[in-house]
Structure 1
């Protein structure tokens, strides 16, 4: 087993203060093109695999039967901020299938969006499941469950939807899942290798609208994410800002515990990485470095500098240090 590779460093006062190490794979049309750490490291992809979990939404015909738009498909792949537009989209979607907030199984948490959080506080309202960052994914799950008449407990491991997701996961990663855990939103999360996750992202990147049913579904989902980055995450978030910075040509998705993936359709490449300490700072900087290496992100763009190479400042505006790529990453 290969040890995690140092990827990101934090420097302060001319001294190395912290290092983030991890595993990463770039998968191209011919297979693995480059890797750091252990490509065979088994991880939970967490929310980085939401486009895989959304495949049944398109492949069963449920999306078209309901007339879902690219915005809906992007939202089905989202880990959103709970902004007002996110909450409204989730509520309207449920109403369109004759359901409501109590039919969700994701649980309620305070929205990450400050404006919506303050609105709730001022109006003495409690957050609901529509605010859950995974409510878009769960709207998609419910849509498939209703379309298949498969029952309301769609997050159970033996539910037909979850069996479909497991099968799709194994097909696009090219490997048997190593097991599963329960994600923060209560849905099963299937463990795969970093290489398998990168291979899946390459399949999304290579998919074209004139391909077979799986390819068409992949192309629609990846294109929807890149076109609607504000629905995939939200204002101030890395996924949204970096997708905008790349001219909506690349689809990005983060996952909890410092997982990040990228879908590069023009290059037919997929990227997957995992920072072993679970730190978001490390995963955002590492994916930024790999996107710069791929030539799809300007290293001088404010969205890039915010996460890698730019000056870090404290609350008084004083320069405190910088986050930079570790030596040898990327090559």
Structure 2
């Protein structure tokens, strides 16, 4: 971790109690590194921050030709398992003649506090549709059917994952040096921060109608910007970030302290990785970098709270803050 940069700090009163180190890259429309912290060439697993890349074969194959923006947002989502998420994914599955049992992502309790408690009171068990990756997996099922492939769509040698890997390596610009199995059982392909940010820049600069891939990129980024509450959830940071400047950028989190952003107006892509995996730090850092590149103001609704996240105690008294390090906002 000696190559990691100090990116965020946690204070309690006037004392810096903890720090978070990591790496970040900002890549411009020409594919060149604009700015970097730590080691931009560090190899990482992007986790859910790359779901829009995983959704590319769904559109490029023609399988998702008629999908609306709602379903494209869900295919790229890490949703919270809110009632509307469950209803929309269930309806999509039903339109395919499928059900929750066809998903290979595993069951997960709703991440929405109110719905979580309602289900407990009602004695309802979570299903695979509640899994935050159920939209992505429904897209995989749709692609598998289009390809005439079997139901084991998360296997490395399955046509769906072969298509995902090919798209991933093409848009990141390099062969993946490795892979791991994600929390939802699908393969997650490794790349560098620089190449991940470069992939986001490709999404940012894509032009509809230029070719199948660029048209797919435009449809996915537009769907995500139009429906931030489906990409994440009503209380999630991705929604807070995108709501701060509606229709101007995509912000997408991933597990273990990863975040990406797509900025079409500037043709810029951003990728962040916090070494200790802390989401509180990755959220503060991506907010700071969006301010740095001029995508949003530091005092925009919601942004100020992400740049100085409160640390409350059991009585609800704020004892300190999680902040990006000084100078990161520019």
TM range (shorter): over 0.9
Deviations 1:273-297 (A, max 9, x none): 1000100000000000000111112
Helix, strand or coil for the counterpart of 2:306?
coil
Q: Which residue of 2 aligns with 1:115?
A: 114
Alignment of 1:99-114 (within 5 A): 99-114=98-113
State the 1:330 CA deviation.
4.9
Deviates more, 1:313-322 or 1:41-50: 313-322
Q: Does 1:5 align with 2:5?
A: yes
Instruction: Compute the TM-score of the two structures, normalised by the length of structure 1.
Output: 0.96
**Preserved contact between residue 77 and residue 232 of structure 1 (Cα < 8 Å):** yes
Q: Which residue of 2 aligns with 1:255?
A: 254
Helix, strand or coil for the counterpart of 1:117?
helix
Instruction: Compute the TM-score of the two structures, normalised by the length of structure 2.
Output: 0.96
Helix, strand or coil for the counterpart of 1:266?
coil
**Preserved contact between residue 25 and residue 193 of structure 2 (Cα < 8 Å):** yes
Deviates more, 1:13-22 or 1:74-83: 13-22
Structure 2 portions without partners, runs of 5+: none
State the 1:317 CA deviation.
4.1
Deviates more, 1:246-255 or 1:222-231: 246-255
Aligned length: 329
Q: Which residue of 1 aligns with 2:235?
A: 236
**Structure 1 CA distance for aligned equivalents of residues 251 and 318 of structure 2:** 30
Alignment of 1:257-276 (within 5 A): 257-276=256-275
Q: Does 1:167 align with 2:185?
A: no
- Relative to structure 1, the CA distance from residue 310 to residue 233 in structure 2 (aligned partners, 3 Å threshold; closer, same or farther) is closer
**Structure 2 CA distance for aligned equivalents of residues 328 and 177 of structure 1:** 33
Helix, strand or coil for the counterpart of 2:302?
helix
Deviations 1:114-173 (A, max 9, x none): 222122212211110000000000000000001111111000000001001111111000
Q: Does 1:152 align with 2:151?
A: yes
Q: Does 1:140 align with 2:134?
A: no
**Preserved contact between residue 2 and residue 38 of structure 1 (Cα < 8 Å):** no
Q: Does 1:21 align with 2:21?
A: yes
**Structure 2 CA distance for aligned equivalents of residues 319 and 96 of structure 1:** 48
**Preserved contact between residue 244 and residue 296 of structure 2 (Cα < 8 Å):** yes
Q: Which residue of 1 aligns with 2:36?
A: 35
Alignment of 1:195-234 (within 5 A): 195-234=194-233
Two-structure CA RMSD over aligned residues (Å): 1.4
**Structure 2 CA distance for aligned equivalents of residues 315 and 6 of structure 1:** 29
Q: Which residue of 2 aligns with 1:90?
A: 89
Deviates more, 1:29-38 or 1:318-327: 318-327
Moved over 2 A (4+): 309-319, 322-325, 327-331
**Preserved contact between residue 253 and residue 260 of structure 1 (Cα < 8 Å):** yes
Deviates more, 1:106-115 or 1:135-144: 106-115
Q: Which residue of 2 aligns with 1:287?
A: 286
